Chain A
Amino acid sequence: MGWATMAGVTIREAARKRLLWTALVVAVGFLVLFGLALHYQVQDFAARSTIPFLRYQIVSAMLMIGLYVVDLLAVLMTILTSVETISGEIASGTIQAIAIKPVPRWQLLCGKWVGSAVMVLAFVALTFGGTIVVAWWMGGVVPEHPLQGGLLVSLECLLALAVTFAAGTWFSTLTNGVLVLGLFGLAFMGGWLEQMSGFTESARLVTIGIVTSLIMPSEALWRRAVFEMQTPLAGALPFSPFATVSIPSATMIGYAVCYLLVALGVAVWHFHARDL
C-alpha cells in the first residue's frame, strides 16, 4: 500500500506548507462575499416588492454565477497547487530520496495524485456545497440536480490534476504551469465561442467548441454541469450566458473520463521510464 502512504505524505506536506489553511481561508472568504451579495439583493427585493418569479430567476442566476466562480477557482487551485508536485521534486532532487525506497514508481505517482485529489475534492465539496447552502439559506433557491453538477465539477478538477501530473513528468514547473493553464484557457475560450453560436447561429463556432473540447474537455464538463443544474426556463432564455445552446453529451463525458485515465496513464508510464 505504498500509494496510500504517499497520499498521506502528500496531504501532510500540503498541511505543513499551510496550503490547506490558505485554501480554507479562500473558500470561506468566497462564501462570505457570496452570502453578503445575496443578503443585500434579497433586501433590495423586499424594498422594491419584486415579484416572486423575477426574484427566483435573479437569485438562480446569481447562484449559477457563484457556482461558475467555484468551478474556475477549483480548477485554478488544482493546477496551481499540483504544478510543482512532480516537476518541483525532480528539479530539486527530493524525488531521488523517495524513489529509491521499495515503493514502485507508479505507486509513488499515484499516491501523490490520490493525495492531491482528496484535497481538491474536499475544496470542491466545501465551496460548491457551501455556495448551494448559502443560496438556499439566503434566497430559497436550490439548483436542479446539485449532485450531478458537483460530480461533473469534481471530474473537471481531477482531469486538470491528471493533465498537470502528466505534463509534470516532462517539463519544468514553470513550463508545466504555462502549458496546463494554456490548455485550460483554450477550452475556456472554445466553450464561450460555442455558447456564442446560440446568438450568432454559427455552426462553425460549434465545431470550434467541439474541437477545443477534444483538446481539453474541462469547459465541456462545466457546460454539462450547467445544463444539469439550471432550471428549464433559465436554460430556454437565449440571452442568458448559461443558456442551453449546445449541450455536451454523455459521450463527451465518457471522452473526458478516458482523457483523464489516459493522462494519468501517460504520467505513470513516463515517470516510470524517465531518468530522475
Chain B
Amino acid sequence: MTTRTSTRRAVVAAGVAVAVIVAGLAFPPTRHLAERFFASLREPQVQAVNVNLSSFVGPGANQTLRQMVTQMISDKVTVTTSEENQSVPSAAEAGKLAGFPVALPAARTDAPALTVVGEHAFTLTVDRERLQAIVKEAGRPDLAIPPSVDGAVMHVRMPRSVTARYGNCPRPPSATANVATPPPASTEYDSCLILSEGPSPEVQTPPGLDLEPLAQIGLEVVGMTPDQARRFLGTVNWKATLGLPIPRFMRSYEVVKIDGADGTLFNLVGRRGPTYTLIWTARGLVHALTGYGNSGDAVTVAGSLR
C-alpha cells in the first residue's frame, strides 16, 4: 500500500466519522448522549445548588471571602432557603418584613432606596482533611480538627437584612463590567452611601469544631495581618463575617467608637470602589456602612442612626 493511498483512506475515514457525528447530533437522543458524554469528561460541580450570596456583597467587597470560608469547610453545599430581595417604600415597611426595627442615618436627609435582602440558608458537609490542610497552611498546625467532625453537617442561616442606598451609587459589580468599562470620574459617586443592617448569621457547628480561626484565616487571605484580623474579630462576632461586605483593597484600618461601641473603619483604595467601609454592632444588629465620599464623615453618619 502506498503512503498516498493510506493517507487518502485515513482522510476519507476521518471525514466519514465527522459527518456521522455531525449528522447524529441533529437527533435529540444522540445529542442527549453527546451532552452526557461531555459532562462525564469533567468532574461534576459538587455544589448541589450555587450559593448565591451576591446580594450580601457591597461594592468593593471581597466576594471571594465567604466563598473561601465555605470552600475551606467543604465543597458539598446544599442551599435550603434562598429568598428573593424585595424593594420597599419605607423604613417601617422594611422593618415589618425584616423582623427588626430599621434605623436610618439622620445625617442624610435625602430618601434612600430600601431593599429587604431575602433569607438564605445552606448546609455544608465538613471535610476534615481539607480543614486540617488549610489551618496547617495558615501557619496554625497547633489547631487540631477532631476526627469526629468529618462528614458532620453544618447549618448556616443568614436572616433577612435591610439595605439602604443613598445618592448616586454604581450598579452592582460584575467581573466583566470591571474590565470592560472605564473607571468613573473621581467625584461621580461622592454622594453614594450604602447602609446594611441585620442580625448576625446563625451557624450550627458540630461539637468540637471552632470556626473562629477559619474566619481569621479568611480575613488574612483578603489582606489583614493576623493582628488586624484578631482586633477586627474583637469588635464583631466572627459569624458576621459570613454576611458582611468585608472590603478588599484596604489602605488602612482603625478601631473607632460609635455610641460607645467599638467599630472598625476600613479606609479603602481602588479606582472603582468606595473609599471606606465601617462595620459595627449595635442594638443586637450588625451594621456595615459603605461610602464613596470622605471617610472622616463615616463615624458621624453612623452615630446618627435613628
Contacts and interface: CB of A to CB of B under 8 A. Distances in A.
Interface of A: 51-54, 56-57, 60, 144, 170, 199-201, 206-207, 210, 213-214, 220, 231-233, 236-239, 246-249, 251-252, 255, 270, 273-275
Interface extent on B, as a size class? 20 to 34
Contact of A255 (B7, B41, B139): B41
Interface stretch (B66-74, B87-95, B194-202): B66-74
Contacts of A231: 133-134, 137
Contacts of A199: 175
Interface in B35-85: 38, 40-43, 64, 67-68, 71-72
A195 B270 CA distance: 26
Given A214-B41, A237-B221, A247-B43, 11 more contacts: A53-B139, A53-B220, A200-B175, A200-B176, A210-B41, A233-B221, A236-B67, A237-B68, A249-B43, A270-B6, A275-B3
Contacts of B186: none
Chain A binding surface SS class: helix
B204 interface: no
B134 A210 contact: no
A249 B1 contact: no
A38 to B, nearest CB: 17
B193 interface: no
21 contacts: A51-B139, A51-B220, A51-B226, A52-B138, A53-B138, A56-B139, A170-B10, A200-B175, A200-B176, A201-B175, A210-B42, A231-B137, A233-B133, A238-B64, A239-B64, A249-B43, A251-B41, A252-B41, A270-B10, A275-B2, A275-B3
Contacts of A60: 137
Nearest to A246: B42
A200 B176 CA distance: 7
Contacts of B7: 170
Contacts of A220: 41
B42 A249 contact: yes
B130 interface: yes
Contacts of A274: 1-3, 6
B64 to A, nearest CB: 6
B240 interface: no
Q: Which of B3, B72, B226 has the most CB of A within 10 A?
A: B3
Q: Which of B68, B137, B220, B221 has the most CB of A within 10 A?
A: B137
B290 to A, nearest CB: 22
B217 interface: yes
A60 B7 CA distance: 47
Contacts of B10: 170, 270
Interface in B129-157: 130, 133-134, 137-139
A238 B63 CA distance: 10
B42 A236 contact: no
Nearest to A272: B1
A54 to B, nearest CB: 7
A253 to B, nearest CB: 10
A52 B142 CA distance: 14
Which 8 A/B pairs are nearest by Cβ-Cβ distance?
A: A52-B139, A236-B71, A247-B43, A53-B138, A252-B41, A232-B130, A251-B40, A273-B1
